[in-house]
Amino acid sequence: MNVVKILLLCGAVLAFSGCKKSPFDGAKAMAETESLVKIGPREAGGGGARRASVLLEGKLKALGLKTTIDTFSEETPNGKMHFNNVLGRLPGKSNQLIVLVSHFDTKSGISKDFSGANDSGSSSGVLLELVRVLKERAPFETEFLIACLDGEECRTQYGPHDGLHGSRRLAQQIYEAGGAKLVKAVIVLDMVGDKNLNISVPRNSSKELVKELFFAAHELKVRSQFAIGPGSILDDHVPFLIAGMPVVDVIDFDYGSAPGSNNYWHTTNDTLDKLSVKSMQTVGDVVLRMIENLQTTN
Ligand SMILES: [Zn+2]
């Protein structure tokens, strides 16, 4: 068979399958998740979270991003604690900004064997794989701020001194630098690896971005796995919302052995075997499509 024939055959196969291969690789997102989970529990203020921040910064650097670790301390119910936000920048053609967020800390006090595979491994894995693809395809119209955030989980109960430490810090920094008006979108990823993927966007997300997310899911024929949730939740999107930035929280907050039980969440059952490459592929593809669509909107 000559080269021309091979090319024709490949073309026919692609036309028949009707799809071109996605640049986002769910298997790579899973591998990134595994490398984070290997660290063990990543309680904010502890050695695990610190090691995770170093690992994540190294990965963003290796992907060619300019990075910083923003170390800060805040009061918590357990006294003053140190947090490390890992930030990376990917310049764009304009000064409009898309902020991509995942927390990397895990809930405290579960067990020394706690994996936090879905919460917060999966979203961090998907975020790293998104960065790889975005870097490959750069420059985009928008700049990207990649935010691997610390201290999402609360120690006892969410409040001004408990939980959402990293997102509150970053939202305030953007706001105080006068950058809130340049933010086109903040996309928060959280718990996106469940084998049984049902994204339920909390109602306290920005309507226009929920529409963009659902449209991207519709375009990729996975709209049935994306819905609006029953109510509002407190997650890393809230500080950005308060600071006046458009934000959507992409979260599947039904993570358990049966619908509605949520019995894997914040337990030692939150392990890698509950996740799937396919779910990460779906979320990665949809968010990537949404980002591409946002390049051409005002
Ligand atoms: Zn959590």
Structure tokens at 85: 């936000």
Decide the pairing of beta strands 183-190 and 79-90: unpaired
Q: Is 146 exposed, middle or buried (0-12, 13-18, 19+ CB in 10 A)?
A: buried
Q: How far is the CA of 154 from the centre of ligand 1 (A)?
A: 8
pTM: 0.94
Q: How far is the CA of 119 from the centre of ligand 1 (A)?
A: 5
Q: How far is the CA of 67 from the centre of ligand 1 (A)?
A: 25
Q: Is pLDDT above 70 for 287? A: yes
Cα gap 196→253, rounded to integer Å: 11
Q: Give residue 19's pLDDT.
A: 59
Confidence of residue 13 (pLDDT cuts 50, 70, 90): very low
Q: Is pLDDT above 90 for 286? A: yes
Structure tokens at 257: 């052995």
pLDDT in tens, 57-116: 999 999 999 999 999 999 999 999 999 999 999 999 999 999 999 999 999 999 999 999
The helix (H) or strand (E) run that includes residue 113 is none
Q: How far is the CA of 185 from the centre of ligand 1 (A)?
A: 23
Cα gap 152→166, rounded to integer Å: 6
Which residues lie near ion ligand 1 (Cβ < 5 Å)? Answer: 119
Cα gap 195→225, rounded to integer Å: 12
Q: How far is the CA of 11 from the centre of ligand 1 (A)?
A: 45
Q: How far is the CA of 134 from the centre of ligand 1 (A)?
A: 27
Q: How far is the CA of 152 from the centre of ligand 1 (A)?
A: 7
Q: How far is the CA of 30 from the centre of ligand 1 (A)?
A: 18
Cα gap 204→229, rounded to integer Å: 10
Q: How far is the CA of 266 from the centre of ligand 1 (A)?
A: 6
Number of H helices, E strands in the chain: 8, 8
Kindly write down the DSSP assignment for every residue of 143-178, as one continuous string.
Answer: EEEEEEES--S-SSS-BTTBS-HHHHHHHHHHHHTT
Q: How far is the CA of 186 from the centre of ligand 1 (A)?
A: 19
Q: Give residue 283's pLDDT.
A: 98
Q: Are the CB atoms for 186 and 247 separated by under 8 Å?
A: yes
Helix ranges (H only) for the chain are 3-17, 26-37, 47-62, 123-137, 165-176, 207-219, 237-242, 277-294
**CB count, 10 Å around CB of 130?**
24
Residue-wise over 152-189: b if at least 16 C-beta within 10 A, else e?
bbbbeebeeebbbbbbbbbbeebbeeebbeebbbbbbb
pLDDT in tens, 215-237: 999 999 999 999 999 999 999 99
Domain ranges of the chain: 22-294
pLDDT in tens, 181-216: 999 999 999 999 999 999 999 999 999 999 999 999
Q: How far is the CA of 296 from the centre of ligand 1 (A)?
A: 34
Q: Is pLDDT above 50 for 253? A: yes
Q: State the residue for tokens 């995942």.
A: 102
- 22-294 in CATH: which number? 3.40.630.10
Q: How far is the CA of 222 from the centre of ligand 1 (A)?
A: 25
**CB count, 10 Å around CB of 266?**
18
**CB count, 10 Å around CB of 74?**
18
Q: How far is the CA of 2 from the centre of ligand 1 (A)?
A: 56
The angle at the Cα of 95, spanning 164 to 129, to the nearest 5 degrees, equals 55
Structure tokens at 138: 């750069």
Per the model's pLDDT, the better-predicted residue between 201 and 13 turns out to be 201
Cα gap 190→152, rounded to integer Å: 10
